[in-house]
Amino acid sequence: MTPTDTTAGSGVYEVPEELRDFRDLVRRLAQEQIAPRAAEIDEKGEYPWDVRELLASHDILGLPFPSEYGGTGTGTLMQQIAVEEIAKACASSALILMVQELGTLPIQLFGSDELKERLLPKCASGEWSPAFALSEPEAGSDPAAMRTTAVEDGDEWVLNGSKNWITNSTIADFYVVFAVTDRENRRITAFVVEKDRPGFSIANLEHKLGIKGSPTGSPVFEDVRVPESNVIGEVGRGLSVALGTLERTRLGAAAQAVGIAQGATDYAVQYAKERVAFGKPIIDLQGIQFKLADMATRTAAARELLYTACAKIDRGDPDKAQYSSMAKLFASDTAMDVTVEGVQVLGGYGYVKEYPLERMMRDAKITQIYEGTNEIQRVVIARSLSR
C-alpha cells in the first residue's frame, strides 16, 4: 500500500525539494519502525521512549526550533508535515513532536535570551521534553477562571494551585505554567517550572479513550518557588503568551488529524480491495466506493487547508490566526468523520482491536477537543470575519 502523496503545488504554498526528502525520511521511519509498535503502545498505555529516541536521532525533534538553538530551522510547514506522517502510523507518537513545539514555543516567541539558551538546545536535541500547563479543572476554554496563583517574594515567585489535562505529565523536564499574578485585573503570567522544584508533583494520570501512549495528568504546585529569570515575557501578559502560542500550535492538532484521517483512508482502501463479498472485492460495491470517495476527498481538502495555514504562519500573513483555526476545525472534524466511516467499511472487523481502525477512531476524538475546542475555533473564526 502506497500512502497518498503530500507534495505541494505552486502558489499558496510550496514544499522545496530538500523538505520533501525530509518528509520521505519521516514517512519511512513512521511506516517501518513506528507503525509496527502502534497497537502495543495503545494497548499498554506506556510512553514510547524508543520512538522518542528514534525521532531525536534523526533530527525530527529539532523541527520546531531555529538553527541557532540546534534545530532544523525549516519552519511550521515542515513541522506539521512530519506530525502528519507520524500520525498516520501512531497518533500517540505524533504527540511527542507536537508537544516539543507546544512546550517551547512560548519561550521561542516571548522568552529571554537566557531562557532560550538554557532550554531550547536540550529540547532541539531531544534530550529534554517540555509541557504546556494552561488548563485547569474549572478553566479550560475560559482561562480567566484560572485559580493557580503566583505571588512575588523578593527575587522569586511562589506558585500554588493545580492544572489538568496536561500532556507529557511525568515525562517533561520542565513545564510552562500559567498563573494569576493580579486577580483584581485578571492578569496572568507565564513561568518555567522545572520538574525537580520542591513542592511540584503530579497528582494523577488520566485513563483516556485514546492517545494512550501519551500521559495526560494533573500537575500540582505547593509553594513552588522559581526565580525571576523563569518568567516568560512580561509579568501580567501571560494571556498573550498563551494565545500567541496556540495560534501556531493548534496546527499540530490539525496535522495529527490529517494524519489519522489519511491512515484510516489508506487502510480502508486496502481492506476493501482484499475483502470479498457477493463474489467480488467490496471496493467494487458502489456503497463502499462512495464512502471511500468521501473519505479521500475530505482528507485531501483538510490537508490543503492545513498546508495553506502553515504557509501563512511562516509568512506572517495577517489572516494567519483565522486560517489556523479553520484548519484545526476542519481537519479534526474530518478525522472523526473519516475514522467512523472507516470502521463502517471494515464492518465487524473495524470494531475489534486486531485491526487499527477502532484505535484511529478513538485517537481522532481528542483532536476536536484539545488545542482549543472546535467550538472555540468557531468563535475565533467568526470574530475574524466581523472585524
Report residue 82 as a C-alpha cell.
512530519
Between 91-102 and 49-57, two packed helices, what is the crossing angle to 10 degrees? 60
The amino acid at 59:
D
Report residue 259 as a C-alpha cell.
494524519
β-strands 174-182, 130-133: how paired?
Answer: parallel
With cell 495560534, the residue in question is 247
List the one residue out of 86, 3, 88 whose CA is nearest residue 52. Answer: 86
Cα 355 to its chain centre, rounded Å, is 24
List the one residue out of 248, 228, 238 whose CA is nearest residue 321. Answer: 248
State the catalytic residues: 371
The amino acid at 280:
K
- 3-class secondary-structure state, position 281: strand
What is the length of the chain? 387
List the one residue out of 264, 238, 286 whose CA is nearest residue 358. Answer: 264
Calpha distance 34→36 (Å, rounded): 6
Taking only Cα atoms into account, the Rg of the chain, rounded to an integer number of angstroms, comes to: 21
Calpha distance 1→88 (Å, rounded): 13
DSSP 307-332: HHHHHHHHHT-TTHHHHHHHHHHHHH
On whether the CB atoms of residues 89 and 35 are closer than 8 A, the answer is: yes
